Structure 1
């Protein structure tokens, strides 16, 4: 008579099926202690027959390890985070770990609730792209309790002591701006989601740790430093602020075009803003780089199929995910390990959308 599947299979069920004691079955299933070869065979045969699955939480409590890590990110639909997560998961599985993934929608309350649930699952560590807030209580609590935590892409000032894996956001924008300046452009527009109230000169003069700023602000700093290195100053009237959406970027850049903003090149500091800004260009039938040069962010699929192909600053997304996992696994294996921030460089991919000034 087949075994009823209306309840979870337990060690007692296995012992009964195998004709051994509960303690013998438990030892075999946990791979601890002694048991005869015959008893081991019978227990494993019974477990397979009944479809036994060990309780992950109980196993974690007994062994101190669940072989899972948590990834807490703001937007899984983002091409950037999707690519990073692929690298993170690939590296985790290569080391025998699985990943529990949650999406916060950049909502602090969702982030806190997600972290609390994942902590209850007894994951072995966390990779978190935090929501920007003054006191990320859930993350601070994890760190205080000794949970291994690695930040991804960004940090907040309160988490300055938590290791970070990110792009070199400042260096990425220095590449983009430097490319345009070397082509002779001086009036370079910048499309950014950084707060409009923050002036470029104020960011440069603040003396703050760059990694404690939003990536958008770090990229604005890198843009300005490329000018500084050449004895030039950014014209803040050419800094175009958009919300973090393609619709907003298309709208504000389209307005700047329609109002005749005077520039010879434009740099978009984010993949979403790049797509929106290019929509505004395409809708107006503007020819690049004849009218102006255009540099985008992230090497997205569409950037190579439009005419001309788009010059971009490309992030090592897969490598960022791998690096975050490897750094976290180092902390899981040795909670007292001394780890430092890791910033990976971007690369410039020149294409047909940029050319010398006056081309």
Structure 2
């Protein structure tokens, strides 16, 4: 069945397409009799307005594109919820896509969203697409970086991030002060700013305490649960094993904890786990003794939403940088 158009309604109503357009858009004059007739026929024919045509005419779509690296990660879902809760009050809808920690897929998603003519773009970049992201911004589409920075200068872009260096420094410093010098580090992708900054925070604390950086105690991953599991296997196949594991995101931490549990090890009695970000399922495995950096993803999403309202509604164009400070979170059991 062909899609019903304004011409079909005009033909059924016996009026011009211009009159039908005025009635359906509620703009301009038409008698009450004509309005009732046109609306009744439109309802009977199940007429659906052409959103693309309307957006072309109004030069806006009331949609915001959101690219996140892992759509299954609760951290990014909370960020997205904060954005959505803030923007829906102003009539905006979100289109979510995942870059899957893959720069090629992220680049494709950038193209898809710009072709859909989103009014603004929010991105937690996996890295490698700074040129394309800046091109989107230079085309007139507002861009907000969330959680991750670009690898090149981005002072003219809105930025909402955490102080990753400080957070990783605090975690590492805590472990060292508890007597741990053999710390197995589970890195995320060093292509992304979160991966590199958290590693820098770890290195800063180790160097301050005069401890060597042993490459055999460092596992480089890509922020996945499998990386966490593989890191544990790697560490425990070594002759010298770590007394603590430091994982640089919540998804990898979950993989770490699952693998330790499979191996029959108790947390924290057999080994201490410290995590940048809270693994939501951690309480099922070990209710006490988990050391983590408490993050504020929902609040970060709300901040992104407020920035976008300033850009799109209030037309305020001064770039904003918001840095959320880390909060150490140690559960009740004494370690």
| TM-score, normalisation: structure 2 | 0.86
Instruction: Give 1:304-315 correspondences, 5 Å limit.
Output: 304-309=283-288, 310-315=290-295
Gapped regions of structure 1 (runs ≥ 5): 1-5, 196-211
1:166 aligns with 2:161: yes
- Aligned-pair CA distance for 1:110: 2.7
1:62 aligns with 2:57: yes
1:265 aligns with 2:259: no
Shifted more, 124-133 versus 186-195: the winner is 186-195
CA-to-aligned-CA distance 1:120-171 (integer Å, 9 cap, x gap): 22211111222311x5443222112111111122122235132222232223
1:32 aligns with 2:27: yes
**Matching residue within 301, 307, 325 for 1:327:** 307
Instruction: Give 1:44-193 correspondences, 5 Å limit.
Output: 44-133=39-128, 136-158=130-152, 160-161=154-155, 162-193=157-188
Partner of 1:240: 218
Partner of 2:255: 276
SS of equivalent residue, structure 1 residue 266: strand
- Aligned-pair CA distance for 1:186: 4.6
In 1, are the aligned partners of 2:167 and 2:276 still within 8 Å (CA)?
no
In 1, distance between residues paired with 2:286 and 2:105? 41
In 1, distance between residues paired with 2:199 and 2:272? 18
In 2, are the aligned partners of 1:148 and 1:335 still within 8 Å (CA)?
no
Cα distance change of structure 1 residues 178 and 28 upon mapping to structure 2, 3 Å threshold: farther
In 1, are the aligned partners of 2:168 and 2:201 still within 8 Å (CA)?
yes
Partner of 2:277: 298
In 2, distance between residues paired with 1:293 and 1:352? 14
Partner of 1:200: none
Number of equivalenced pairs: 331
Partner of 1:42: 37
Shifted more, 68-77 versus 276-285: the winner is 276-285
**Matching residue within 237, 241, 249 for 2:228:** 249
SS of equivalent residue, structure 1 residue 87: helix
- Aligned-pair CA distance for 1:213: 5.8
In 2, distance between residues paired with 1:187 and 1:131? 30
- Aligned-pair CA distance for 1:293: 2.3
Cα distance change of structure 1 residues 279 and 138 upon mapping to structure 2, 3 Å threshold: same
1:347 aligns with 2:334: no
Partner of 1:218: 197
SS of equivalent residue, structure 2 residue 328: strand
Partner of 1:286: 265
In 1, distance between residues paired with 2:295 and 2:148? 14
SS of equivalent residue, structure 1 residue 325: helix
In 2, are the aligned partners of 1:11 and 1:22 still within 8 Å (CA)?
yes
In 2, distance between residues paired with 1:325 and 1:218? 25
CA-to-aligned-CA distance 1:161-199 (integer Å, 9 cap, x gap): 32222232223223323433454545444221355xxxx
CA-to-aligned-CA distance 1:293-319 (integer Å, 9 cap, x gap): 221233233211113443322322222
| TM-score, normalisation: structure 1 | 0.81
